[in-house]
Amino acid sequence: MSAARETLRAIEQKRRRFRQQQLTFVAALGRTREHARERTQPVSSIAQVQRYLDNHCNNATDRRILSLFLEIVADLRGAAQLLEGLAPENRPPDESLEACKALLCPTSDLSALRAKYPHDEVNHLSCDEARNYYGGVVSLIPMATDLAWQCVSGAGPAHKAPKRTGPPSLQGAQPGTEQQSSSAKESPAITAVGTQTKRAGNAMEQLHYSPTKGQGGWHTGKPAWRPPGHTSKF
């Protein structure tokens, strides 16, 4: 299996390079479809891309990107044959391997393929391009690569991140211990809230106790003001 893993890693390197040039690939398909007078038809098979390269490709850029696509497909076919040769004779056929071989058949219909998360190839297409023309052909390489990795690992794609089971400090802890730790974490917050409430109450008491106007300071001992001429006491 080590040889198969090395082959798939090399394919991954080419696949990353191809994904960075997906816009160039789609533009090349658009030009070659126009030259082939198939503007309204989707790109639905590997054989169709090969025909565009052989008969309707007029510039070096289009030839280079279409050749890279077909080269990755050929490498994936070689990896599938290698995995098939490594399988034990008494073992039933691997479903992932059979699905991978079916996808890589030159005449297989790819129009219904759509690569899902974590792949984003389809997201880089417009809605019209993804639905009607290129959604299947750009999904072929990531989906076939995933199936090949499943054959190697036997437990899903190798690049899939493992599930996290929580912090190591909580693994194996008893329920009572977790409740005590949670209550200990909550108690400082309760104390802080009580302290803030008490301080707020003291501040309100000080506001209500403030002296009324006329008490203390320059008001002390000074008679109330009366209009001039009204000096009699009532």
* 140/64 Cα distance (integer angstroms): 19
55 lies in a domain? Answer: yes
Which has the closest alpha carbon to 52: 40, 34, 76, 68? 34
The stretch 151-175 carries a mean pLDDT of: 49
Helices 22-35, 135-153: axis angle to 10 degrees equals 130
> What is the pLDDT, as a whole number, of residue 224?
67
The answer to whether the pTM exceeds 0.95 is no
> What is the pLDDT, as a whole number, of residue 87?
74
206 lies in a domain? Answer: no
Query: How many domains is the chain built from?
Result: 1
219 lies in a domain? Answer: no
Q: Tell me: the pLDDT tens digits for 57-90?
A: 999 999 999 999 999 999 999 999 999 887 777 6
* 13/162 Cα distance (integer angstroms): 22
19 lies in a domain? Answer: yes
47 lies in a domain? Answer: yes
87 lies in a domain? Answer: yes
The answer to whether 33 touches 145, Cβ cutoff 8 Å, is: no
Q: Which domain holds residue 140?
A: 1-153
Which has the closest alpha carbon to 96: 112, 109, 111, 84? 84
